[in-house]
A and B are shown apart, each in its own frame.
Chain A
């Protein structure tokens, strides 16, 4: 520790001696990082939250292989309040399908629409297989025929036609690696040429994901700089010095450029999580405000620039160093977790934190050296403990001192409430809800889910040890019963399996007699039906439902929500049903995007929480080490713990889902609350060495370093309140919570530490 101390002060000395050289050197290094930016890759696929080798991804890939499934599917909803079965709308459907088939990136052989999906029917006693609609019906009879073939076929109802007849859909699978947003944009162009009574809605995971990616880029490029500008203005108003305000901003920007440049340069893609790095670094950079804050006080006392700088660094240096260490360790721990984007995020925030600290001891003093003394003299005249914020803070300190027990009691009540709130937390994630309520994507999704079977898809794979098991009547009957049970789950809109095909063929071969819409009693009958279906329709229609040796069957489960909890309910139902009704030699395993969303959501949150707890422990140890006392470590830890519990409590009470953005956000408390506590206690100790009256020292601390703390918090709260205007909810949530986090943790630090130290100082200071 000592060695580090001397090194830093040598760095500061050098910076004070050669300010221009230091600034130039920093600038050059920054350019080195900045030139990495054009290599940026964006990755918004939640799949990459888990490594390609993770069990769930390996199994998903296998399932896609067994059943020839596509990773990505878009759904274009076409609605007409008067019903879609009219000539104009049907002609549009035909034209739109034809245009979609020309788009690059679309798997044209599997686009499913009225004009492409095969229908198995009886026509004049003959079995016929042809697209549902080969030609737009011209006569009322033809229209009626189309209507009945839609409504009487369970394979089509809720998929190609809503029960009220007002909505149909075109299912558009995408080739691997195709950009959903680009294809969505091109489909929108096609739709512009088809304006009429119809309403179109484009939904599906790839649209949401890739639109989110594009939006994320805009938000990152827009709100980080806006927040920066506002911080700059606020800083200027606080210190009335353009150069100082600019320097703080520059430190924040530089650390962002360094760590994002390093991240991009090392070949990591920018993920939703790492896109928040600039925001975090800006928050952490505001800690440098303590240096300015103290410098202004010092300069007024000393009146000489160089001495004031060195004095400032001497007193503010150790707390700043320890806060940096605690923050870097806190985030560094995330780098040890199992989730790659979380690791990248933790690693580069930790790196950025160290960059900020390096600059606090080099670039900042260098800039201060270049300021003109006369101008400074005029400005610092305002800096007085008796005035403004300091006086106000002094009063808060006073109240905390005089009513320490009340403060602690209120604290305990709040803590109890927070714990109650935490028990109400609902862990959930919903990517569609990352968009605002009024957004096109969310509306499209809502419309489709209201009218059709559901946009979120899960697969339930039934496997058997023996070949041809999926032709056994007992197995098919079990699948059918399970399907009916799953359809009772609140979010399940539709299920489809090989059973539906077998029943359909049975009916068609018996001259379309509805009484034969059943599962035949003999295995060879089923075998021949399936052979017939595979031989007459598009073979792939069957392949998506059974594998080649008929050992596995795939039940498609469509959910009307992207909520992870919706899938959890499905899993619970399967567990309960299979426990109550032993399956006939088959086992069930879930897959598909809806299931994957649940798994990564759980894994990421579990990892975040685990790493966060480890980080908390390590931060506590750093705090204890920094004060060389477990007791002081514990006291300084209280504001941090309290802030986190309060935030989680509020999340629980207001019913906000505990999702990825919230979990990322809670790590920010590591960066902030710890900073405040270290500054407060360090400076209190320093003051106590000069003035042995505990109460006086506490009042001074609440007023003077307290002002730095409040400045830091207010500055940040103002800047990040602009994120409330973002178009993506994770950013709004982050903005809102940063604002409350900063203010709460700053106030909590000042109030709780003043009260606690006042109450417990005999015990705390016992050793000396």
Chain B
């Protein structure tokens, strides 16, 4: 991880300031370098972050389930370990449920769940990052990022997405068993390095899921996807996610991301 942190930080500074990188510089990037920068831009902005996340799980026929939560994130290391603390507001019967994730790119996550009805903290063995995140079309991996080195990346072409210049990258898992997809195409914004669109193909080669960043804006100078959709084109099910009240660099303490706080979340985690 460490080996690319330094050059990347150098690259990210102008980005964070909203400066356009020179196109010549961009063209010399390889597929893998683009994906590394994209991973940092999407999953690691700021030292920490807080957001009110609203997820709408929508069936093909328009049936809807709501997941509303406050999400806290803290980077321990840029491009490396992260901690997530999630407090559920809705659905009503899971209010006060809390969820703690210690994410590590190279090994299984550690997850703990507080079940208020039983007043019980339960450790969740998380040996599958591909499983669904709270029943949505996003997997844990989609929410917290997949290790860039698990796939081999190829820059296919450059094209515009909604008027924005983008790199088109093809990613193929090095170990087919490590992913649900057989192939992924990503359209990476040349300016923000945020993925504007992603297409996941199943192992048979059929399109299975489509991600789109529907609203991308700068918050405290950091590019942030505030509205996104993941659609399962095979089932017609989709999940729409809105990030509200996004704040970066709150100087969240490490202690907050411990089992102790699951039962009694601090006010800043709840609001």
**Beta-carbon contacts of A517-555 to B below 8 Å, as 1s and 0s?**
000101111011001101111111010000111000000
Contact with A along B55-91 (1 / 0, CB 8 A): 0010111011100000000000000000000000001
Q: Is B134 an interface residue (CB 8 A)?
A: yes
Q: Are A123 and B125 in contact (CB under 8 A)?
A: yes
* Contact indicator A531/B124 (Cβ below 8 Å): no
Q: Which of B201-216 contact A (CB under 8 A)?
A: 202-204, 208
**Which positions 395-421 of chain A face chain B at CB distance < 8 Å?**
none
- Check if B242 is an interface residue, CB within 8 A of chain A: no
How close is B143's CB to chain A, nearest CB, in angstroms? 12
> Which B residues are CB-close (under 8 A) to A123?
125
Count chain A residues whose beta carbon lies closer than 8 angstroms to a beta carbon of B. Answer: 40
B118 within 8 A of partner (CB): yes
Which residue of A102, A531, A537, A549 contacts B131 across the interface (Cβ within 8 Å)?
A537
Given the complex of chains A and B, what is the CA–CA distance between A68 and B137 in angstroms? 14
Comparing B34-42, B109-117, B155-163, the segment that makes contact with chain A is: B109-117
CB of B124 within 8 A of CB of A104, answer no
In contact, A528 and B116 (Cβ under 8 angstroms)? yes
- Tell me the bound Cα distance from A701 to B60 in angstroms: 71
Assess the A524–B117 pair: CB atoms within 8 A: yes
A528 touches B115 (CB 8 A): yes
Which positions 85-106 of chain A face chain B at CB distance < 8 Å? 101-102, 104
- Is A128 a contact partner of B127 (Cβ separation < 8 A)? yes
In the complex, what residue of chain A is closest to B99 when comparing beta carbons?
A535
Contact partner of A468 among B60, B93, B133, CB < 8 A?
B93
Q: How far is the CA of A102 from the CA of B206 in the complex (A)?
A: 11
How many chain B residues have a CB neighbour from A under 8 Å?
Answer: 36
Does A125 make an interface contact (CB < 8 A)?
Answer: yes
* Known contacts A65-B60, A127-B123, A532-B113: A548-B93 contact under CB 8 Å: no
In contact, A126 and B124 (Cβ under 8 angstroms): yes
A contact residues around B113 at 8 Å (CB)? 127, 532
Asked if B235 and A68 make an inter-chain contact with CB atoms under 8 angstroms apart, the answer reads yes
Instruction: Tell which of A123, A130, A523, A535 has the most Cβ of chain B within 10 Å.
Output: A535
Nearest residue (CB) in A for B97 is A528
Closest B residue, CB atoms, query A123: B125
B127: chain A residues at CB < 8 Å are 128, 130
A536→B131 contact, CB < 8 A: yes
From A102, A127, A509, A548, B63 is in contact (CB under 8 Å) with: A548
Q: Which residue of A lies closest to B88 (CB)?
A: A531
Cα distance A525–B202 when bound, in Å?
36
Residue of B nearest to A106 (CB): B204
- Minimal beta-carbon separation of B48 from chain A (angstroms): 24
Inter-chain contact A66/B63, CB cutoff 8 Å: yes
A108–B125 CB distance below 8 A: no
The minimal Cβ–Cβ distance linking A178 to chain B, given in whole angstroms, is 13
A101-B203, A109-B234 known; A66 vs B61 contact (CB < 8 Å): yes
Are B117 and A525 neighbours in the complex by a CB distance under 8 Å?
A: yes
Find chain A residues with CB under 8 A from B245 CB. Answer: none
Complex alpha-carbon distance, A542 and B60, angstroms: 16
Chain A contacts of B178 at CB under 8 A?
none
CA distance A209 to B134 in the complex (A): 39
Across the interface, do B131 and A509 meet the contact criterion of CB distance under 8 Å? no
Bound Cα distance from A542 to B132, whole angstroms:
13
The CA of A65 and the CA of B61, in the complex, are separated in Å by 7
CB pair A104–B204 under 8 Å, yes or no, is yes
A130 to B97, CA, bound (A): 23
Judge whether A471 is part of the interface by a CB distance below 8 angstroms: yes
Q: Do B124 and A548 have beta carbons less than 8 Å apart?
A: no
Confirm or deny: B1 has a beta carbon within 8 angstroms of a beta carbon on chain A. no
Nearest CB in chain A: distance from B182 CB, A = 11
A127 to B111, CA, bound (A): 10
CB–CB A548/B122 < 8 A: no
Residue numbers in B under 8 Å from A482 (CB-CB): none
Kindly list chain B residues whose C-beta atoms are within 8 Å of the C-beta of A536: 124, 131
Chain A contacts for B122, CB-based, 8 A: 126-127, 509
CA distance A399 to B91 in the complex (A): 88
Instruction: Name the prevailing secondary structure of the B interface residues.
Output: loop
| B163 CB, nearest partner CB in chain A, Å | 34
Q: Are A539 and B117 in contact (CB under 8 A)?
A: no
In contact, A125 and B123 (Cβ under 8 angstroms):
yes
Tell me, yes or no, whether B21 is within 8 Å of chain A by CB: no
Given contacts A534-B135, A536-B131, contact A126 B123 (CB under 8 A): yes
Residues of A within 8 A of B94 (CB): 527-528, 531
Which residues in chain A, 377-395, are within 8 Å of chain B measured between CB atoms? Answer: none
Q: Is B120 an interface residue (CB 8 A)?
A: yes
A127 to B110, CA, bound (A): 12
Chain B residue nearest to A534 in the complex (CB): B135
Contact residues in A for B149 (Cβ distance below 8 Å)? none
CB atoms of B132 and A527 under 8 A apart: no
B165 contacts the other chain (Cβ, under 8 Å)? no
How distant is the Cα of A553 from the Cα of B170 in the complex, in angstroms? 42
Q: Is the CB of B59 within 8 A of A68?
A: yes
B77 vs chain A, min Cβ distance (A): 25
- Chain B residues closer than 8 Å to A234, beta-carbon distance: none
Q: Select from chain A the residue with minimum beta-carbon distance to B112.
A: A126
CB-defined contacts of B203 to chain A, threshold 8 Å: 101-102, 108
In the complex the two chains form, what is the Cα distance from A542 to B133 in whole Å? 14
Residues of chain A within 8 A (CB-CB) of B204 are 101-102, 104, 108
Q: Is A688 an interface residue (CB 8 A)?
A: no
Contacts of A520 in B (CB 8 A): 117
Known: A531-B97, A539-B135, A548-B59. A127 touches B124 (CB 8 A): yes
Distance in angstroms between the alpha carbons of A101 and B111 in the assembled complex:
30
Beyond A102-B204, A126-B123, A528-B93, is A522–B117 a contact (Cβ under 8 Å)?
A: yes
Q: Mark A655-690, 1 if CB is under 8 A from B, else 0.
A: 000000000000000000000000000000000000
Contact of A531 with B93 in the complex, beta carbons under 8 Å = yes
Residue of B nearest to A520 (CB): B117
Nearest CB of chain A from residue B132's CB, rounded to whole Å: 5
Query: Given A531-B93, A535-B135, A548-B64, A525–B118 Cβ distance below 8 Å?
Result: yes
In B128-167, the 8 Å CB interface with A consists of 128, 131-136
In the complex, what's the smallest C-beta–C-beta distance from B154 to chain A, in angstroms?
A: 24
Cα-based distance from A525 to B132 in the complex (angstroms): 22
Greatest chain A CB density within 10 A among B57, B117, B204 is at B117
Verify A509–B120 contact, CB threshold 8 A: yes
Instruction: Please encode chain A, from 547 to 580, with 1 for each CB lying within 8 Å of some chain B CB and 0 for all others.
Output: 1110000000000000000000000000000000
Q: How distant is A119 from chain B, measured CB to nearest CB, in Å?
A: 12
A537-B94 Cα distance, complex, nearest whole Å: 17
Tell whether A129 is near chain B: CB-to-CB under 8 Å: yes
CB distance B117 to A528 under 8 Å? yes
On whether the beta carbons of A129 and B116 are closer than 8 Å, the reply is no
CA distance in complex: A281, B125 (Å): 69
Residues of B within 8 A of A525 (CB): 117-118
Distance between Cα atoms of A68 and B97 in the complex (Å): 27
Q: Which residue of B lies closest to A110 (CB)?
A: B235
For the complex, what is the distance from the CA of A155 to the CA of B129, rounded to whole Å?
Answer: 24
Q: How far, in Å, is A58 (CB) from chain B's closest CB?
A: 13
| Min CB gap B103→A, angstroms | 16
**Which residues does chain A contribute within 8 Å of B97, judged by CB atoms?**
528, 531
Measured CA separation A135–B91 after assembly (Å): 36
Cα–Cα, bound, A547→B127 (Å): 28
Q: Which of B97, B128, B133, B135: most chain A Cβ within 10 A?
A: B135
Given contacts A68-B59, A107-B234, A108-B203, list 15 more A-B pairs with CB under 8 A.
Answer: A109-B208, A109-B235, A126-B123, A126-B125, A127-B123, A129-B128, A130-B128, A528-B94, A528-B116, A532-B113, A539-B135, A539-B136, A542-B135, A548-B57, A548-B63
Can you list 8 residue pairs at the A/B interface with Cβ under 8 Å?
A: A108-B204, A125-B123, A524-B116, A527-B93, A528-B118, A531-B93, A531-B135, A538-B131
Question: Lowest 7 A-B CB distances belong to which pairs?
Answer: A527-B93, A128-B125, A548-B63, A126-B123, A534-B135, A525-B117, A126-B125
